[in-house]
Structure 1
């Protein structure tokens, strides 16, 4: 249970990566070189999969080579020891409980699936909002079919930041925890969260198949397939815009200056790269040359 809580903030970020709607595709890659437009050295853009770990990313030899040669690491937000408690606090419902919000039948369906994939009793999470329960279920399905390589295998976003600190790289977060909180919990009422949770639970076989497919497409570096898969999710276009594309636009206000001053390795969720409002397209529109790279040397 403790390990789950430690990584909950990273799993929280993964929900944002499921909100894409169909856009004009970019080339098939999750790793990119950014050059031109006044840059003296190229920078690099890597699409992470928040539920995969250090053991996996260590196998991506070209990704790690460019990461090691970069002077700065840029992530979605800086991950520190305070974030777990902030996330747990944000997930707590003040005026109701999960069993009351969902009703007896839906609560029981959710409890059965959680017990099946994790062994946990839903009563342990009864004060947590439905969005958090969906994140927990997603992470448990991921771990059932694609377990990390032991208790020391940190999620890749945490791993990059740990390694950057060890080598004294500059660390930059593109947004704060409060920014992410507003994009996720802030725009959804508890009723809407409950609706999305039950859509996920009622189609649990589909959810399992999609998580398996997501892992396959990510390993293949198939950004187009990832985009197609995520376009099938239940978020509205407005919700997706708040969670994904508005954030991309804000990040683009910071990235040019960061890349201008040093060779920068940018590691953000893979779906932030895709489509006409994704970072690859936005960087190209800003005048940069952005070319796909293989993840292996």
Structure 2
């Protein structure tokens, strides 16, 4: 049964294309870490950037002692999103008055599989869109099949676990965007996608979950190996999901780097490419230093 709360689901979708293209061009930054120290010659503040894979969690982060020490040296945690009661994705979806005719997308066996998956939760499956269901199934697949997450685990993502550690140690938390904005992006990113394509995507992901196939798990191994190609000289391929969001986030991050010791937690893809936060922060005059984590 599913215990994961439907919260942040966008980035796992992009990670698939990120991994698939990892050998496309020559890189301008090769490194084996997900942690970067951020300093400025005119400031005493020391901040950090940490690139996550959302499907991982407590065991992964606990094993990274330098990352834990960096987090506890800061006074502000900046995440993509905060889980605010009443504004979780499930709250937004459950408030809808429209429903999806799932018989157009799933056969009877697939519908029953999904119903069983949602049986232990409070999310009203019939009010989801095909894009949202695919995002949920993709996230669930990464956690349950690829990562083999402990079914008794109470954290919902690597980002959320880091958030829990920060709260326990009395760090202030700040979210870069709302759940409403993330849900909009999930749907807008595939706007105009033909019904048959939705149908094939959903059917394939359900089949993977049923069989336990690990054919899409290579990105997890790639992330854990930390042999990264950051492609800092390559344009971002997705304007909606990467470029536009990074630009909006930087407006908020720039001000807080001036006033706080920040630990910034975002999906690894948001650090990469020309539009990535590594490049954007460096352009502001900050020094970026890769910090080994293992």
Identify whether the pair has TM-score above 0.5, normalized to the shorter chain.
yes
Q: For the structure 1 residues 119 and 67, does the alpha-carbon distance in structure 2 shift closer, same or farther, using more than 3 Å as the test?
A: same
Retained in 1: the 8 A contact 2:46–2:261?
yes
Structural mapping, 1:59-78, within 5 Å: 59-78=63-82
1:201–1:85 Cα change, 3 Å:
closer
Contact 1:35 1:288 in 2 (8 A): yes
Q: Against the structure 1 CA distance between its residues 110 and 222, is the aligned structure 2 distance closer, same or farther, given a 3 Å change threshold?
A: farther
Distance 1:167 1:54 in 2: 16
CA RMSD of superposed structures (Å): 3.5
**Residues 12 and 135 in structure 1, CA contact (< 8 A), matched pair in contact too:** yes
> 2:38 aligns to what?
34
Cα pair 1:133 1:197 within 8 Å, conserved: no
Decide which moves more: 75-84 or 10-19. 10-19
- Partner in structure 2 of residue 260 of structure 1: 258
Q: Distance in 2 between matches of 1:132 and 1:110?
A: 19
Distance 2:244 2:181 in 1: 11
Could you list the per-position Cα deviations for residues 64-119 of structure 1 after superposition, in whole angstroms to 9, with x for gaps in the alignment?
110011111000111233314335338x682541222x3xxxx239829x94x996
Could you say what secondary structure the match of 1:246 adopts?
helix
**Higher helix fraction (1 or 2):** 1
2:229 matched to which residue of 1?
224
Residue number among 268, 280, 283 corresponding to 1:282 in the alignment: 280
SS of 1:140's partner is: helix
Q: Structure 1's 254 and 208: CA in aligned 2 closer, same or farther, altered over 3 A?
A: farther
95 and 212 in structure 1: CA distance in 2 versus 1, 3 angstrom threshold: closer
Query: How far apart in 2 are the matches of 1:176 and 1:23?
Result: 34
- The 1:292–1:150 alpha-carbon spacing in structure 2 relative to 1, beyond 3 Å, is same
Residue number in structure 2 paired with 1:54: 58
Give the structure 1 partner of residue 94 of structure 2: 89
Compared CA separation, residues 183 and 284, structure 1 to 2 (3 A):
same
TM-fit CA distance, 1:62: 0.7
Secondary structure, aligned partner of 2:273: coil
- Residue number in structure 1 paired with 2:216: 211
Aligned residues: 274
Contact between 2:34 and 2:226, CA under 8 Å: does it hold in 1? yes
Residue matched to 2:179: 177
Instruction: Look up the match of 2:135.
Output: 135
1:209-260 alpha-carbon deviations (Å, 9 max, x no partner): 56321111111223328x8xxx9xxxx94xx211111010111112122112
Q: What stretches of structure 2 of length at least 5 have no aligned partner?
A: none
Distance 2:118 2:175 in 1: 35
State the partner residue of 2:3.
3
Q: Deviations over 1:167-219 (max 9, x none)?
A: 221111112222223322245437457625624645877x9656321111111
**Cα deviation 1:96-153 (Å, max 9, x = unaligned):** 41222x3xxxx239829x94x996489x845421112212322332212322234234
Q: Distance in 2 between matches of 1:59 and 1:279?
A: 25
TM-score when normalising by structure 1: 0.78
